[in-house]
A and B are shown apart, each in its own frame.
Chain A
Amino acid sequence: DIQMTQSPSSLSASVGDRVTITCQASQDISNYLNWYQQKPGKAPKLLIYDASNLETGVPSRFSGSGSGTDFTFTISSLQPEDIATYYCQQYDNRPITFGQGTRLEIK
């Protein structure tokens, strides 16, 4: 199975900060990498697909980049409503696997 390693596991930042989360795959997954946001008690929500494509309706402060094994997710200006856990997910190879999640808190 492809292992997805997110860093950091948790993060505390202030409103307006630029926030970056990384996701590393254990092997080359091309750009078959998605990012999800999960707020407490809610289902995950797709934010970014294929490493860098913004899902319809998602604010433009969210972005993604990378290919191969190293990927980055960025919030350009953190808002209070962005408090959540963020997951990366690969779909290059069976089985689909997720990163362990990054919990984002407001400082």
Chain B
Amino acid sequence: QVQLVESGGGVVQPGGSLRLSCAASGFTFSSYGMHWVRQAPGKGLEWVAFIRYDGSNKYYADSVKGRFTISRDNSKNTLYLQMNSLRAEDTAVYYCAKGVSWFAGTAMDDLTIFDYWGQGTLVTVSS
């Protein structure tokens, strides 16, 4: 069965950095686009970033553009999110999510249904 397991969360000071990982199993990881979605405490869901199945295309929310970098290692079935210049407003549970897209193979393949989610990892930005 599909499993997505995030790790790497923790407490970091404003301006600091953190790298999240998401270990995938139960499906052909190298065939699917992957996303990060976050949820601030007591708030709703916010899409953060997308990476194409082969890593050739990436998109980011305006709120994290220039500070966060999504990447993947298909040989290790692992998704990453490098977070730099962290701010208090980045405090959230970060979920990795597998994407299913009717637009696969096109320039719009980031537009997806999230069919599986990890359990999330909490990032707290505080001094």
Contacts and interface: CB of A to CB of B under 8 A. Distances in A.
Interface of A: 32, 34, 36, 38, 42-46, 49-50, 55, 87, 89, 91-101
Contact of A95 (B44, B61, B116, B118): B61
Contacts of B114: 34, 36, 44, 46, 89
Nearest to A92: B111
A34 B49 CA distance: 18
A73 to B, nearest CB: 15
18 contacts: A42-B119, A43-B117, A44-B45, A44-B114, A46-B113, A49-B113, A89-B45, A91-B101, A91-B112, A94-B59, A94-B108, A95-B59, A95-B62, A96-B35, A96-B47, A96-B110, A98-B47, A101-B45
Interface of A is mostly: loop
Given A87-B44, A98-B45, A98-B46, A93 B111 contact: yes
B32 to A, nearest CB: 14
A55 B61 CA distance: 27
Interface in B73-116: 95, 101, 108, 110-116
Contact of B119 (A34, A43, A55, A92): A43
Interface size range of chain B in the complex: 20 to 34
Contacts of B117: 43-45
Nearest to B103: A91
Nearest to A42: B119
A76 B70 CA distance: 40
Given A43-B119, A95-B61, A87 B95 contact: no
A42 B35 CA distance: 18
Nearest to A91: B111
B57 to A, nearest CB: 12
A72 B119 CA distance: 27
B113 A91 contact: yes
Nearest to B118: A43
Given A94-B59, A99-B44, A43 B112 contact: no
A87 B51 CA distance: 23
